[in-house]
Every structure is written in C-alpha cells, then in structure tokens.
Amino acid sequence: AEKELFFSISKAYDLYNYLLTLLIALKNYARKRVETTKSKLASTKEEQPINMKFIENKFIAQLEENIQLNMFIVGQKKSWKEEESFLKELYNTILASDIYKEYMASDETSHDADKLFWRKVYKQCILKNESLDALLEEQSLYWNDDKEIVDTFVLKTIKRFDEKQGAKQVLLPEFKDEEDKEFDG
C-alpha cells in the first residue's frame, strides 16, 4: 500500500509537470500558426501586422526556460507534439474567449499581467476541459483522480512565479519535505 501511495504521488507530480508543459505547447502551436499566416501573407504581398502578444508572453517565456521543468521534459517519453488536434481545439477555445480578446487588446505587457492571463485561461479553458480529461485518462489511469488537486498546484505555481527568479524559479516540490521523501525509500 505504501509503495502504491508513492507511485501515485510520483504520477501526480508527472501530471503537474505535464500540465505546465501544456502551456508551453500552446504557445508553440500559436507560433506555428502565426508563421503559417505570415508565409501566406508574404506570398500575397499583403503587409498586415500580427499581434505577437500571446506568443511573447513573459510568464510563458520564463516557464519555457525553467531548469526544473526542462529536466522533467528531458526524462519524458511523451510530449504534446503528438496531440496536435487537441492543441488546435484548445487553442481555438482560447482564441474564442473574452479573456484572450481582452488580453490581446490591452496595452499592458507586464509579467504580472501575463501571469494573470494564464491563470484565467487555465481556470476557464483547461480546468474543466473534457477533451483534456479524456486524453489524460488515456495516458494514465492515475491522472484522472489527481487532476483536480494538480490543477490547484498549477494555478498556485503560475501565481508564485517571480520574474526576478528567471530560469531558477522553483516549482512546487514532489514531496512536502525530505522526511516524506525518505519515507518513500
């Protein structure tokens, strides 16, 4: 029972990191769409400005360079690259949201505003997303039970990110303290 508990904790921590990487995957998907749009416009010789605010989000840039998250990514077999149809669906949901429209129309470009945008997007578009829940359940039976609590950890992480920490921003730990970790051994 003890081993199963720690296996479950480990799976929940994987989900936490995987959901953080989803935010980066959405930005990368958006970048790809913008590049496609730019190349189409270039072929028609039309010069239209493209709003890059979503892609240049300061919080996502910091998350993308996060040392801990990158260590997690290196050790993973799965990534969001195989889930392009889901990314497209989720991205379109975000694009259609008032949160997105207000964010893109705003002149505010601070790290705090960018974090707030992602907290709102997470709450409105990711938290209760049935397609995401189905996708996660396919990948791990453990994740379905853990998603609700892990969502709160992701939201807390976004809120805690400090621009001054850069790539060294500490993510939430897998275990509360060393004693809990040693208990696993």
Specify the higher pLDDT residue, 140 or 42: 140
Structural contact between residues 171 and 66, judged by C-beta atoms closer than 8 angstroms: yes
> pTM of this prediction?
0.89
Cβ atoms 119, 159 nearer than 8 A: yes
Amino acid 182: pLDDT: 46
How confident is residue 184, by pLDDT bands cut at 50, 70 and 90?
Answer: very low
The mean pLDDT value of the chain amounts to: 89
Which of residues 50 and 22 earns the better pLDDT score? 22
pLDDT > 90? residue 89: yes
40 pLDDT tier (thresholds 50, 70, 90): confident
From CA 92, how far away is CA 10, in angstroms rounded?
32
Residue 185 has pLDDT above 60, yes or no: no
Q: In Å, how far from its chain's centre is CA 62?
A: 12
Range in 31-40, 96-105, 117-126, 160-169 with the lowest mean pLDDT: 31-40
Is the model's pLDDT at 11 over the cut of 90? no
Beta-carbon neighbour count of residue 40 at 10 Å?
Answer: 10
pLDDT tens digits, 25-35: 999 999 999 99
Calculate what percentage of the chain has a pLDDT beyond 70: 85
Task: Average the pLDDT over 115-129 and give the result.
Answer: 98
